[in-house]
Amino acid sequence: MKFVCDDCRRAMELVDNTPSEDGGSMAIRYTCPNCGRSISMITNPGETQMVRSLGVTIGHEALSAQPEPMAIIRDALAGGSVAATTGPEPMWTDAALRRLAAAPTFVQGMVRRLYTDYARQKGYTEITPAVMTEAREALGMTGV
Amino acid sequence: MTNHSAVHDESNVLGQVLAQRERVAARLAHIQRVVAVMSGKGGVGKSALTANLAAALAMQGRVVGVLDADIHGASAAAMLGARGQRVVIGENGARPAIGVADVRVMSMDLFLSDEDAPVTWGHPGGLAADTYVWRGTLEANVLREFLADTDWGELDTLLIDMPPGADRFETLMRLVPNLSGALVVTIPSQVSHLVVRRAIAAARHAGARLLGLVENMAGLTDGEVTHELFPNGRGEDFAAEVDVPYLGRVPFDPQLARTTDAGRPFVLEHAESAAGRAILTIAAAL
C-alpha cells in the first residue's frame, strides 16, 4: 500500500511503524519528501496477523532483515520453544571416544548428540567418561 | 502529475516471499531425492512406516533425513529415538536431531518445552477468535522453515512424513515443485481406500508423481502364520484401480509396535522377519 501527497503529487515515504501494545494492530507513518506532511495508517488486527503468519516483516526493519532460522516457530509458539543458539562445541577426549565406540554402531550418532547437548547445557568444555556417566544418570539412559 | 518514480514498496513483501522460496531451493539443492509419505487417512501407520523406511535406507548406505510435517501430531523424533535432543541454531541454520542409524530428524516435537505441551500459537493480534485468518498460513510457513532453515547437509533422501488429510500436500508442492514423488500408504479396508483415493486425486491435481502404494497392516503375523485383519480390501487391486504402482504389503507385527514405541525402528533388529523384508524391499524401490 502506498500514499500520495495530493498537494505535491509525490509518493509519500515510509518513516516508521509502531506495533500496538497488544500486537493486534500497527501504526505506519508516512511523510511527503517534498513538503514534509505526515500521515499515519493504522492496520487492523486481521491484516497484522496475515502479514506475520507469512514470515515477512514490514517497514524499515525489512530492509536489513536477514531472517533468523526457524523465526516463526521460535516467535509464535505459545509457551516458547526450547531451541538454543549455538555455543562452543565441547571437545571429546580420547577416552570418551573409546567408550562411545563401544555402543552399537546404529546408535552412536544419536548418543554422541545427547552427550554433547548435555555437556553444552552444563557448560562443560570437554566430554570425559565421567561426564558421560553423569549424563547417563541424569538422562536415564541405559545400555550405552 | 504524480512522481511515480518515487513509489516503491519499502517492505518489499513480494521480494521477501520470493527470497523465502529461494532459500528452500538452495537448501534442497543438497538433497538428491525428496519423497513425501502420505495417506490422507489417519491411523494407517504412516509415521512408523516412514521411520522404518528411513532406517532401511540408512541400512542400505544412504544418508537420510526425516521431516515431520505433522505439526500437531509430531512423532518422528520419538520413533527414531531422537527425543530429548535440542534444536540448536547455528550459522548454517537449525541443526537437526540425530536419530538411530544417524537419521537426521526435524520435528515440532523438538521445539516443545515439555511432554504435555500442545502445539498452540500465540495470537499475533491478541484475538483468539481470528485464528482461522492466519493459522493455515502460519503452519504452511512452519513447513517452509523446516525445509529451508534446517541444516540438513548433504542427503541422499529426505522423507517427509505428511499429516493426515490432503490439504498440506498442495502447500508442499508449492514449496518443493521438483518433489521426487509421493509414497501412498493405505490399510486393507474399504474405508481407508475411500479416503486414500481422494488423497491420491488431490496429489495428482497438485502435480505430484506417485511413486507407489504400500499396503500397511496387511494381516497380523505371529512370525509363522499371517492372519487377515481386513478381509475386504486387497491393496493390489486397489493400486490397479487408482493406477499407482503397487510396492507391497507390510504385515502387522507386534514387535513393530514395541520397537517403534521404544524409538528403535523395527527393521534394524528384525530385518529377516516378514515385515522387515517387506520394508527393505519397499525402501529399495524408492
pLDDT for A47-69, tens place per residue? 777 777 777 776 655 555 577 88
What is the model's pLDDT at position B201?
Answer: 93
Written as tens digits, the pLDDT of chain B (286 aa) is 444 444 455 667 778 888 888 899 999 999 999 999 999 888 899 999 999 999 999 999 999 999 999 998 999 999 999 888 888 888 889 999 999 999 999 999 998 887 777 788 776 555 555 666 678 888 888 999 999 999 999 999 999 999 988 778 888 998 888 899 999 999 998 889 999 999 999 999 989 999 999 999 888 877 677 777 776 668 889 999 999 999 999 998 888 888 988 899 999 989 999 899 999 999 999 8
Alpha-carbon span B270 to A114, nearest angstrom:
25
ipTM for the complex shown:
0.77
Q: Of B185, B190, B195, which Cα lies nearest the Cα of B278?
A: B185
What is the model's pLDDT at position B88?
Answer: 84
Nearest to B86 among A46, A76, A117 (CB): A117
Nearest to A24 among B84, B111, B127 (CB): B127
In which region does residue B153 sit, left (phi positive, over 0), alpha (psi from -120 to 50) or beta (all else)? Answer: left
Smallest Cα distance from B44 to chain A, Å = 27
Q: Of B107, B100, B105, which Cα lies nearest the Cα of B59?
A: B100
What is the model's pLDDT at position B7?
Answer: 43
Mean pLDDT of A80-93: 75
- DSSP per-residue codes, A21-81: TTSS-EEEEEE-TTT--EEEEE--HHHHHHHHHTT---SHHHHH--PPTTHHHHHHBTT--
Note whether B71 and B51 are within 8 A (CB): no
Mean pLDDT of A91-120: 87
> What are the backbone angles phi and psi of residue A7, rounded to the nearest 5°?
-70, -45
> What contacts B74, CB < 8 A, 6 or more positions away?
B68, B107, B108, B109, B119
Interface test with A, best of B21, B64, B141 (most A CBs within 10 A): B141
Tell me: pLDDT of A143 over 70: no
Burial of B73 (0-12, 13-18, 19+ CB in 10 A): middle
Residues 70-109, chain B, touching A (beta carbon < 8 A): 81-82, 84-91, 93-95, 97-102, 108
3-state secondary structure of B125: coil
Smallest Cα distance from A11 to chain B, Å = 5
What is the model's pLDDT at position B3?
Answer: 46
pTM confidence score? 0.83
Note whether B274 and B220 are within 8 A (CB): no
CB contact under 8 A, B145 and A72: yes
